[in-house]
Amino acid sequence: MNAEQTLIDYTLRLADNALILGQRMVENVAAWPELEEELANANFALDFLGQARMLYSYAGELEGKGRSEDDFAYLRDEHEFRNVLLLEQPNGHFGDALVRQYLFEAAYVHILGALVECRDEQLSAIAARAIKEVQYHVRHTSKWLIRLGDGTELSQTRVQQSLHDVWRFTGELFAADDIDIAFQETFGGPDLSAVAALWRTDVAAVVSEATLVLPDDEWMATGGKQGRHSEHLGYLLAEMQYLPRSHAGATW
Amino acid sequence: MYTQGLDQKESAGKRPVDAVEAAEQLQAFQARIDAEEKIEAKDWMPEAYRRTLIRQISQHAHSEIIGMQPEGNWLTRAPSLKRKAILLAKVQDEAGHGLYLYSAAETLGVSRDQMVADLLSGKAKYSSIFNYPTVSWADIGAIGWLVDGAAIMNQIPLCRCSYGPYARAMVRVCKEESFHQRQGFDIMLELSRGSPRQKAMAQDALNRWWWPSLMMFGPNDSESKHSAQSMAWKIKRFSNDELRQKFVDVTVPQADFLGLRMPDEALRFDADAGHYRFGEIDWQELFDVIAGNGPCNKQRLEKRQQAHDDGAWVREAAQAYANKAAAAAA
């Protein structure tokens, strides 16, 4: 794999993660428990959309085939998406969506931390901007996890179940493949085993303060980063992409 | 859950002891209004003034919150990432407007919880326009262009409303609404210059949203039951019909610019008066929608109720956690 292709592939993974999580969060608009949380959810989703747009534009520039941010988002099929499986999982209730976001961002914040220092100037600049947003999100979601865990008996039961339900998707965040390794070697990208250690320390502390129990590491689902997805992604894409696909070549 | 303590049965401030004092107080209040002074939360005010404002501000807040639904309906399907981000920012602004407006109403002695309960029980109203469905992407353009355009006509004068907290909230709301209106027009412009299918989509949206937008200004002046007193109190500055005419005069040339046709055979320019004359509004439709019989009344309230119910365990958990934290700190 040449360095250019590694950079494109790596950038698209980051972009797909941001878009798919953003899209899932957008599904929750006008359905959240309190007005303040509506604002937070929309605001965070906007951050992800903004990150996705910057990353897709950069990938298009690197690729040099004239593909726009929208070409990447709207005109690729399921197997071309490279987001982790965790993010395409359906929203469930507030606790499910919160846990999914927190577990991802608790890793993403360290990935961005490494990217800020990476040898690709543009990716480093995007990461420097994104990390400020993500640090804030993590503060917000970890506080909510603590509130729900240490809230009522019902909220504790529910959010504990949320943790169990998605735990099997967390392994993929740290399962380094050829692209991750090449990106680390060539561009000084994140060492995913180091990220995993930081993530585990952070998550264990929050889960403990939330009076919850860290699930056991059992079988971990992988494949999203290589384009092998769950059934859920197809529906998400069908809804998201239908308009540009049914009006080929139109501008909006 | 955060604001229960704000509910008041009695109005704030000193109560007049006899009829003479009451008349003097009322006269002094009106003199302040006439002098364009702002009335603030802790000032004395007639009970009817307080009630009128609570009704109007809470209706406005509810409209922002319910209004998130028809637009949110296209968030997952917005046809470009840029449009998605702009629409999401707009829907977020609406949640923000709801928040300032509930806060402005709370200064009058009613809690957000009470206002939300009144919305869910059907006691409080919200703008009839949000009971229409958004069936195509062009509806998002039409809402921005027409609905936000009509809202701006109504709301700019509210920046000079006699009640200070409302007037100040409206300054910020209006700045954002003006951006919303432009984004709606921009969507319509793109569609009307696009493919024949896109242009047809834009025309169809205009056909469906034009008349309900005119209804947003409320009944004719002769039928408007709250108007005269609200004008005297300078809560309202222009009549329903004046604002509606202004909206028509501004909007018809914009439709011409888009190359779209207004769905009104009677529409014509009266050169002598300098105004567009338009056809008769179907008032029965407005009264039906207000009475709960619009295309989406049931759906909108059910969705709000569902979100409220689904969130109960989360709010209870947050309260329980806050209570534990407070007990630990004590």
Q: Which of B148, B156, B215, B154 has its CA nearest to residue B185?
A: B148
Residue B268, strand partner residues: B277
A146 touches chain B (CB under 8 A): yes
CA distance A182 to A176: 10
Considering only the beta carbons, identify the residue of B80, B82, B95 that sits closest to A38: B95
Phi, psi at residue A108, to the nearest 5°?
Answer: -60, -35
pLDDT in tens, chain B (330 residues): 333 444 444 444 455 567 888 899 999 999 999 999 999 999 999 999 999 999 999 999 999 999 999 999 999 999 999 999 999 999 999 999 999 999 999 999 999 999 999 999 999 999 999 999 999 999 999 999 999 999 999 999 999 999 999 999 999 999 999 999 999 999 999 999 999 999 999 999 999 999 999 999 999 988 877 778 899 999 999 999 999 999 999 999 999 999 999 999 999 999 999 999 999 999 999 999 999 999 999 999 999 999 999 999 999 999 999 999 999 998
Q: CA distances (Å), B160 to each of A131, B122, B157, in order?
A: 42, 30, 6
Structural contact between residues A108 and A137, judged by C-beta atoms closer than 8 angstroms: no
Considering only the beta carbons, identify the residue of A29, A147, A247 that sits closest to B317: A147
Widest Cα–Cα separation across chain B: 75
For A93-102, the pLDDT digits (tens) are: 999 999 999 9
Task: Looking at the complex, report in whole angstroms how far the Cα of residue B258 sits from the nearest Cα belonging to chain A.
Answer: 15
Half-sphere exposure in the Cβ direction for B178 (13 Å, CA): 7
Phi, psi at residue A65, to the nearest 5°?
Answer: -105, 10
Is residue B323 packed enough to be buried (19+ CB in 10 Å), middle (13-18) or exposed (0-12)? exposed
Could you state, in order of their start, the residue ranges of all structural domains in chain A? 3-212+224-246
Which strand (E) or helix (H) includes residue B275? strand B275-277
A126 touches chain B (CB under 8 A): no
Structural contact between residues A35 and B98, judged by C-beta atoms closer than 8 angstroms: yes
- Name the architecture of domain A3-212+224-246: Up-down Bundle (1.20)
Angle between helices B297-310 and B112-121 (to 10 degrees): 140
Q: Which of B169, B162, B218, B170 has its CA nearest to residue B46?
A: B162
For A174-206, the pLDDT digits (tens) are: 999 999 999 999 999 999 999 999 999 999 999
The complex's ipTM?
0.97
